[in-house]
Amino acid sequence: MNNQTQNPIDAVLAESLKALAVKKPIEKITIKEITDRAGVIRPTFYNHFQDKYELLEWITVNELFAPVEPFLSNGMLKEAVTFILTALEKEKDFYTRAAQLEGQNSFNEIYSRCVQNAVAKNIDVEGLAKIAPYPWLKEELVAEFLAHSISWVTIEWIKHGMTVPVQELTDVYLKIFHNPLLEVVTKHR
């Protein structure tokens, strides 16, 4: 991404894409529609983003993950997860459309990368990797596994209408992080 900072034009373009996505699938939204709604010209868009998928990534990073960095760096996982899920729920129509995207530019891929970065930065993946001392079990693999697991649950939650309350889903994430998965699975047999 070209720019990870808060820029007023970036925010206007983001709001434009979010408003348009409520009305039609993201893959059918054109750059012209985004810029017309934002009140800027097309070259302005391309000065900030390569395409609408990079704009979607900017939204994901700046509206979901950047705000929780202080929580994560202070060990406040519950607050971070609650913030992200609440932000997703608050803009349910937009994120429901985003979750429908498929392929390499999918919201799932973008969200998973963001989760993986947050996990690698804030969770002791090195300690998790040392649980099973195999040379192929690297920190990156553990972070990727956790990211895909978290992303899958979140995307499924979005696709199924966000019917599970945020607090319940947060509780599930915390239990998975704080209890070994095998313990959670075998406990209730």
Write the CATH number for 91.
1.10.357.10
**Amino acid occupying residue 14:** A
Q: Is residue 147 part of a domain?
A: yes
Residues 6+ apart with CB under 8 A from 37: 16, 19, 20
The per-residue pLDDT for 174 is 85
Instruction: Give the pLDDT band (50/70/90) at residue 33.
Output: very high
Q: Which of 51, 9, 45, 8 is nearest to 26 (CA)?
A: 51
Mean pLDDT value across residues 105-111: 93
Domain that includes residue 74, residue range: 51-187
Question: What is the length of the chain?
Answer: 189
The per-residue pLDDT for 12 is 98
d(CA 171, CA 49): 36
Residue carrying structure tokens 């895909």: 148
Q: Is residue 143 part of a domain?
A: yes
Q: Is residue 134 part of a domain?
A: yes
Higher-scoring residue by pLDDT: 102, 176: 102
Higher-scoring residue by pLDDT: 66, 186: 66
Residue carrying structure tokens 């429901």: 96
Q: Is residue 94 part of a domain?
A: yes
Average pLDDT, the chain: 88
Residues 6+ apart with CB under 8 A from 96: 158, 159, 161
Instruction: Give the pLDDT band (50/70/90) at residue 17.
Output: very high
Give yes or no for a contact between 23 and 95, defined as CB atoms under 8 angstroms apart.
no
Q: Is residue 66 part of a domain?
A: yes
- Return the percentage of the chain with pLDDT > 70, whole number: 87
What DSSP state is assigned to residue 68? G
Q: Is residue 128 part of a domain?
A: yes
The structural domain count of the chain equals: 1
**Alpha-carbon distances of 140 from 73, 123, 185, rounded to whole Å:** 19, 12, 25
pLDDT exceeds 80 at position 176: no
The per-residue pLDDT for 103 is 84
Q: Is residue 32 part of a domain?
A: no
Range of lowest pLDDT (73-87, 101-115, 132-146): 132-146
pLDDT exceeds 60 at position 180: no
Residues 6+ apart with CB under 8 A from 2: 48, 49, 50, 54
